[in-house]
Amino acid sequence: MDPVQKVKMSLAQLVSEALEEARGQKLLSFATAPDFVIEVPREKGHGDFACNAAMLLARQARMAPRQIAEILVGVIKAGSLAGVEKVEAAGAGFINFYLSNDWLFEVPALVVKMGGDYGRNESKNQRVQVEFVSANPTGNLHMGNARGGALGDTLANILDRAGYNVEREFYINDAGNQVEVFAESLEARYLQLKGFDVKFPEDGYAGQDVIETVRNIIGAYQDRLLDMESADRRQIMLNFALTEKIDYIKNTLENFGIKYDVWFSERSLHETGQVDLVIEQLKEKGYVYEKEGALWFKSSEFGDEKDEVLKRANGIPTYFAADIAYHRDKFKRGFDWVINIWGADHHGHVARMKGAMQALGYDPAALEILLMQLVRLYRGGTIVRMSKRTGTTISLDELIEEVGRDAARFTFVMRSPDSHLDFDLELAKQKSLENPVYYVQYAHARICSVFRQAAAYNATLPSVDEVDVTLLNEEDELALLRKIAEFPEEIAIAARTVAPHRMARYVLDLAGLFHSYYNHHRVLNENPELQKARLLLLMVTRITIQNGLGILGVSAPEQM
């Protein structure tokens, strides 16, 4: 059980009882008990935990918060809860609790017992789906896809540890207009390579990688595509290219540490008639009208700026229509929570997609769209311009090649999704404590190094029951234990607030506390009992760092 949660719950119980007691003794008068919280005060001088019940009750009880706090403190029996050493009213009306360190001393045994599962919250019996990257299978993966990948996979890991049943999904945009253009581009390149003077489509895919793909097609088909109806030729080329591109995407993402549970094809939605079906459903519900030959969805009724076309005048459904069918399908699959990670340039779609779900009778709040801002690449101080025209664009493969998967993943999740990300390639490669990834990994390696050193002295790692954990009474040691104790709660918060970057910060903070501790105290020392206790502290620090890095998809090396 989450150690912090455990303490908070017993303190909350204490406060609830005090409230009832005070009401019973006619010291306070209120109808409903306030929805107070037990929190960790920012200031150390304000105790270990604090409660805001008195402030929340002020209006109802018609009494100054400070006075209420004092009444409650008077009612709480000092010795009524083991480990509570002092309770006092403070500040504007806080109730501060000062605890003995006993609750922290329970932490190491718990961490050792749970091992790789330390941090995991109880099962929620809820299914959540995270859909991310979903890059067009018409080109390379770029930095936006990379950030989305790191964020999505980390978020999925967080949700998993937070007790959800998680599925990762990739939506393959293998239908629609862009795919047509892609096919035309392939055909044009093919004919050009075969010596025909055909002009390349105006908005075609002009990248070098498309030419590569066409070379591969020629390798497979030689001249056999020449004497063929254009439509047939395009179909063959398209199927080949999509397969190749999807394989490429799959491989690259696997190199990045990402494995999907489901690869969902947009084309399948069209083929099974689900796109037309969903348009019909919306029509029946009265959210569709015809204008200038096209079918429109009344998204403006759901807070969108304007209505949106579902089916063009030429009879072809839009991407939006397919996307509605897709999201309907997600809900039909029974997910309690559906999360999408989109680039901020798609924010305009949020309102209408939620609106469409609402129109279909689903809860729009169950659809969560995490928007992420764009990425700017730097090399040292100078920005790396990402231009397809000049060919200076950096793909995810190249990034992994240059800085490594660990540094790339960490850097992408380090910042809040809604903050622009400056990715410094030089910093990410740097082997110094200034590099955040290195800083955290080094903490882990350092612990392993101490263990190796201990082994060289013939000191084995202690088992929990042979250690007197109360010897860990240095400020630094207690701070480390407290941080470790907070890990499960941190996971819960990161999940609840859909904030993958919190995990990176947590692990940085933890590593910082460890480095600082390491610099001040000898683990391997002349006092055998103290040495055992400190080795145990390092063991649980290591487990927590390992688990944290695991969530981030970053390796925890034993040596650096």
Partner RNA sequence: GCGCCCGUAGCUCAGUCGGAUAGAGCAACGGUUUCCUAAACCGUGGGCCGGGGGUUCGAGUCCCUUCGGGCGCACCA
Backbone angles phi, psi at 290, to 5 degrees: -105, 135
Q: Does 178 bind RNA (CB under 7 A)?
A: yes
Q: Name which position in 82, 198, 313, 365 contacts RNA (CB under 7 A).
A: 313
CB of 166 or CB of 322, closer to RNA: 322
Q: Does 45 bind RNA (CB under 7 A)?
A: yes
Q: Name which position in 147, 234, 349, 482 contacts RNA (CB under 7 A).
A: 349
Q: From 233, 227, 176, 185, select the one nearest 205 (Cα to Cα).
A: 185
Span from 183-191, 302-310, 327-335, 544-552 in contact with RNA (CB under 7 A): 302-310
Q: Name which position in 24, 273, 286, 293 contacts RNA (CB under 7 A).
A: 293
Q: From 89, 31, 27, 100, select the one nearest 60 (Cα to Cα).
A: 31
Within 8 A by CB and 6+ apart from 180, the residues are none
Site for RNA in 440-469 (CB under 7 A): 442, 445-446, 448-450, 452-453
Neighbours of 317 (CB within 10 A): 22
Structure tokens at 356: 């469409």
Q: How far is the CB of 504 from RNA (least distance, A)?
A: 9
- Note whether 533 and 521 are within 8 A (CB): no
Q: Cα 330–335–337 angle (5° rounding)?
A: 105
Q: Residue count at the site for RNA (CB under 7 A)?
A: 88
Q: Name which position in 20, 43, 254, 363 contacts RNA (CB under 7 A).
A: 43
Site for RNA in 124-143 (CB under 7 A): 136
DSSP type of residue 162: T
What's the CA gap between 546 and 550, in Å, rounded?
6
Neighbours of 387 (CB within 10 A): 9
Q: Name which position in 358, 373, 430, 555 contacts RNA (CB under 7 A).
A: 373
Q: Is the dihedral of CA 130, 135, 136, 137 positive or negative?
A: negative
Instruction: Render 238-283 in DSSP notation, one character per residue.
Output: HHHHHHHHHHHHHHHHHHTT---SEEEEHHHHHHTTHHHHHHHHHH
Q: Name which position in 9, 20, 25, 59 contacts RNA (CB under 7 A).
A: 59
Site for RNA in 415-434 (CB under 7 A): 415-416, 418-422, 432-434
- Note whether 473 and 521 are within 8 A (CB): no
Span from 75-83, 153-161, 339-347, 392-400 in contact with RNA (CB under 7 A): 339-347
Q: Does 348 bind RNA (CB under 7 A)?
A: yes
Q: How far is the CB of 196 from RNA (least distance, A)?
A: 27
Backbone angles phi, psi at 226, to 5 degrees: -75, -50
Q: How far is the CB of 374 from RNA (least distance, A)?
A: 6
Q: Does 405 bind RNA (CB under 7 A)?
A: no
Q: How far is the CB of 164 from RNA (least distance, A)?
A: 17
Q: Does 560 bind RNA (CB under 7 A)?
A: yes
Q: Does 86 bind RNA (CB under 7 A)?
A: no
